Structure 1
Amino acid sequence: MYKRAEHQKLHNKTILKNLKNPDMQMMIMILLLCSVIFITILFLTKGGKSNTPSSPPRLPLIGNLHQLGHHPHRSLCFLSHRYGPLMLLHFGSIPVLVVSSMEAAKEVLKTHDRVFASRPRSKIFQKLLYDGHDVASAPYGEYWRQMKSVCVLHLLSNKMVRSFRNVREEEMSLMMDKIRKASSLPVNLSELLANLTNDVICRVALGRKYGCETDFKELMERLTRLLGVFSVGTYVLWLAWIDWIRGLDSQLEKLRNDIDEFLERVLEDHEDSDGDRTDFVDVLLKIQREKSVGFDIDRVSIKAIILDVFVGGSDTSYTLMEWVMTELLRHPECLSRLQEEVRTICKEKSSVLEEDIQDMNYLKAVIKETLRLHPPLPLMVPHESTHDVRLRDYRIPAGTQVMINAWAIGRDVATWGPDAEEFRPERHLHSSVDFRGQDFELIPFGAGRRICPAISFAVVLNEVVLANLVHQFGWISTEYQAEVAESTGIAIHRMFPLYAIPSSTS
């Protein structure tokens, strides 16, 4: 017993001696500091008692980035079932508000529209979209208002949309001829619809088709793919080296140079032309020369706006038509009903004209239902708050990014009922709900100040093409009726092309 007591005294003296050692004191201070930091982080990840929306637990430094998954619209929808339709995440140190219900979307896009009308900065958008000189990613302000007015007035107004009718009809007729020549063999509808929208956009915006040029098609594919890639360095600056290691930085740089070279060539072609063309590039160059809109438009802005037309008008339009045909082939009864409507209205005609569309209520219902289940941009383009604001008694600080999950809103059981996951166009036949920004349960094109200005341009092409596909041909699916795999990226289309067998109705 005595020896044990002596040993304990000696041990205590050793500890006291060590505690007086400066190195030991420094080590203890470091351990205490680390403990405080760990406890603080643990408290923050559990949410604390702050007047902010509910949040899932997050990891130090990276926040909730690990919870996005390959399909963020699905992952965020799943999280919202637990944490609510207004959910606060952190991507690195940046707060991100995720909106997953029509009521919450209405507060953001209508009640507080001006506060949330700006766009966050993104390395990918900066590199590929001329650092916010386009319309879609430009910060809210005078420049954005001026550029949007130019686009709406000179390309996207109802008058201009009607003036492009011949272009739509000619390109659609060429596509129908290709299908007719297939002679009951499977056709790649995804490729046909993508080429159609590209050719229409090229003729309207650039004056001629570039779709047959391999480098142009490859350029557009790279662009739409990289716009949907997640940049770690945008949210966690000290991890920006990851983007370099995985080759993202070099891909962005090369694509930026390739896009700029292509658009520069397009501008030079128009400047050297003696013809009396009236495409969008000519309009922009004329505005630049004559300064007819009261402000200067430089060359960078012209190229950025042209690029916007392709990003917003081509990929999303073909994606919608691809999903419509996918759902019709998965639901033969809906296809039969649509064919009956179209062929009844156009029974004496070989093709459907644009004026025939207005009485096709089931066609419009099919398109609405597809936009509900498959919005081309399921998370839309992010918004950013410019001022502090109170949202449902929550404090939302300035600089908060906002992601509107249109995919989750379109599948909300509280709004659409227990069959919200089912494709049922009939739900829209006696409903006034539309997708043009006034009804927040269906906002595939957004709403408020930043609503997509090209809705009319896209819808008229989609309607007439789909009506003619079911009017002129019968269709047989070549795939099983299981759930269709989705691609990744900013626009969500099918992971694999849609093949179907056409049969002539004559």
Structure 2
Amino acid sequence: MDPTTLLFQATILSGVCCIGVVVYLRYFYVDFGRIEGIPEIPGGSSVAGHLYMLGQDHATTAESWAISNTWPVYQIRFGYRRAIILNSFDAAREWIVTKQTSTIDRPWLYTFHGVVSKTSATIGTNPWDERTKKQRRVVGSYTTAPAIRKLEPMLDVETSQMISGLYEDGKHGIRAISPHIYQKRLALNIILMFCYSRRFAAIDDPLLLGILSDANTISSFRSTNSNAQDYIPYLRHFGGGKRTVEATEVRGRRDRWLAGLLEKARDSVRLGKAKKCVAQGLLVDKEEGLTKQDIRTILGGLMSGGFETVFATAIIGIAFLASPAGEAAQKSAHADITSNYSTPQEAFERAALEEKSPYIAAFVREVLRFYPPLHLLPPRQTYQEFEYHGSKIPKGVLVYMNAQAINHDKDKYGPDADQFRPERWLDKESGYEVPPPYHFSYGAGARMCTAVNFSNRILYAIFLRLIVSFEIIGSKEDPPETHYIDYNRNTTAASAIPKDFKARFVPRDVGILEECLRKSQETEVDLAG
């Protein structure tokens, strides 16, 4: 055979091999083989793995697989990524708390990190390195107990404005209204005041609605359900273009309003008129050596997701109170408030300063347990190899906490785990002792939400002031949905946002309520000045 023919055949063979390699990497490559000793869900395709088997509600399907197979821990494939799913409290605690140094990392995901966060990353979702460690330390310094005390006037203002809005717009309890926007404004205003010393007065402010809309869209790019291109690489070029375009557009909008907020804070610092807030502290910080990217990452992370837990929990908590079962909870809560405070005025005033009502604190914990704001928590990634019950877990494997399943674990919470019962946190004779973190709605371990104490304080103030101010009565025409799965309006999204409902907020005593609101307005004047 002549050399030209041989060269031609060799070229063809090389081309076929290259195509074969590309096809394998794009369609059939899996980052890790099956992990011995960890059961694997049967089935799954060679390309997508179990991704599409999970259907429209990944957390619920994953929970049903755990129950039907009696596997609290199992492995699946998200396309080319092998993943471990944790579905029980004890398993999650062992992996995420006991072995936290081994599971401290986060994966890099194409859509969220490569597109949405290309210009402004977020602390909570960043892979673990010294920069992320420093950024978390800086944020933690703003949420210590002394720091939270400095935020009490802000919390007083926002919870009072929320109560005032429900009171006035609900025509003093005559008209049934939706509580959603009031809780969203409250949560966003607290984060805005915390970060930039700025707040929205009107619930229909275009920038307020724009930020809320963008935050909801950005949250969707953390969902395992809506971003198949993260796990099936060829979709980034064939079929995933629409999501990439949407991610690019929301990134541009988010960058513009973040830049505008930071520029106003920078101007205040230059003019010597800055009020104490995170942006001001970061801009003048000399000790940490923060870069512009550090500042953008810290503020972007707080603004992108810092308020979702609060408003989602507040809304579903109100939904439960407005349901038939919630009537008894309102009575128990009001009785506990009355026994711990001398007057309703004292309870209202002290709500932002202390957590004196055991029942309200238990109610907050139960809402978080029963209705986790993120049913499937953002993934971890193993940071180093470790052993689990005889199985060798390699470095770099995805780890998902199924908060929906973990928080309803009957082995940990008892046979009534599927019932909403705040008393479980007050009953010392139940025989079910639940250790910290009590539930996994904030995550756990070294990557646990840094603002957990502040978030709990906000929720405590919200529910105490609501209950001391109103009797909450659900609308018969637009009643609340309170089932721990069915209440979620969109199971394909990362965040669980309650479906729309309406309720009447009937003042317990108009004179006392108006007196409390007048007094809180003085705090607002002080903040404004």
Q: TM-score, normalised by structure 1?
A: 0.84
Amino acid across the alignment from 1:501: R
1:202 aligns with 2:200: no
Does residue 97 of structure 2 align to residue 94 of structure 1?
Answer: no
1:223 to 1:180, Cα distance in 2 relative to 1, 3 A:
closer
Q: In structure 1, what is the Cα distance between the partners aligned to 2:343 and 2:355?
A: 17
Asked if the contact 1:130/1:304 (under 8 Å) is kept, the reply is no
2:138 maps to 150
- The structure with more radius of gyration: 1
After superposition, what is the alpha-carbon deviation per residue over 1:72-109, rounded to whole angstroms, capped at 9, x for unaligned?
11111011113411110101121010001122112211
The unaligned stretches of length 5 or more in structure 2 are 1-19, 510-529
8 Å Cα contact 1:446/1:452 also seen in 2: yes
CA separation in 1, counterparts of 2:150 and 2:341? 23
Question: In structure 2, which of residues 95, 116, 129 is the aligned counterpart of residue 128 of structure 1?
Answer: 116
Q: What is the aligned residue count?
A: 454
1:405 to 402, 406, 429: 402
The 3-state SS of whatever aligns with 1:399 is coil
Q: Deviations over 1:110-158 (max 9, x none)?
A: 23211110001112321333478431012112111110111111x2121
Offset, 1:375:
1.1
- Equivalence for 1:336: 331
Task: State whether residues 274 and 280 of structure 2, in contact with CA within 8 Å, keep that contact through their aligned partners in structure 1.
Answer: no
For 1:432 and 1:305, the matched residues in 2 are separated by 43
Call closer, same or farther: CA 1:140–1:322 in 2, change over 3 Å: same
2:214 to 194, 209, 222: 222
Instruction: Indicate the larger mover: 474-483 or 113-122.
Output: 474-483
Q: Which of 364, 371, 374 is the aligned partner of 1:367?
A: 364
Deviation digits for residues 37-77 of structure 1 (CA, Å, limit 9, x no counterpart): 9xxx9xx9xx9894333323211110000122222111110
> How much has 1:222 moved relative to structure 2?
2.6
Distance 1:454 1:136 in 2: 11
Q: Name the SS for the 1:177 alignment partner.
A: helix
Match of 2:264 among 249, 264, 269: 269
In the alignment, the residues of structure 2 paired with residue 215 and residue 99 of structure 1 have an alpha-carbon distance, to the nearest angstrom, of 39
- 1:475/1:354 Cα in 2 relative to 1: closer, same or farther (>3 Å)? closer
Gap change, CA 1:283 and 1:440, over 3 Å in 2: closer
Task: Write the letter of the residue equivalent to 2:211.
Answer: L
- In structure 1, distance between residues paired with 2:254 and 2:429: 42
From 235, 247, 252, the counterpart of 1:252: 247
Alpha-carbon distance in 2 for matches of 1:192, 1:69: 33
Say whether the 8 Å CA contact 1:161–1:457 is kept in structure 2. Answer: yes
- Share of identical aligned residues, percent? 19
Q: Quickly say closer, same or farther: Cα 1:75–1:152, change in 2 above 3 A.
A: same
| Structure 1 partner of 2:8 | none
Q: What's the offset of the Cα at 1:200?
A: 1.5
2:477 aligned with 1:491? no
Q: In 1, are the aligned partners of 2:373 and 2:441 still within 8 Å (CA)?
A: yes
Aligned partner of 1:71 among 46, 57, 67:
57
Residues 323 and 374 of structure 1 are in contact (CA less than 8 Å); yes or no, is this contact kept in structure 2? yes
The alpha carbon displacement at 1:347 in A equals: 4.7
Task: Give the RMSD, CA atoms, in angstroms.
Answer: 2.6
User: What are the superposed Cα offsets for residues 367-408 of structure 1, whole Å, 9 maximum, x if unpaired?
Assistant: 121111111122222100122322122232222100011110
Asked if structure 2 preserves the Cα contact closer than 8 Å seen for 1:377 and 1:491, the reply is yes
Residue-by-residue CA offset, 1:284-343 (whole Å, 9 max, x unaligned): 1112xxx322x3x22222122112112342111011111211122221111211122223
| Aligned 8 A contact 1:313 1:458 in 2 | no
Partner of 2:90: 103
Name 2:514's counterpart in structure 1: none
Q: Distance in 2 between matches of 1:148 and 1:106?
A: 21
The alignment's TM-score, normalised by the length of structure 2, stands at 0.80
Unaligned segments of structure 1, at least 5 residues: 1-32
CA shift in 2, pair 1:63/1:475, >3 Å:
same
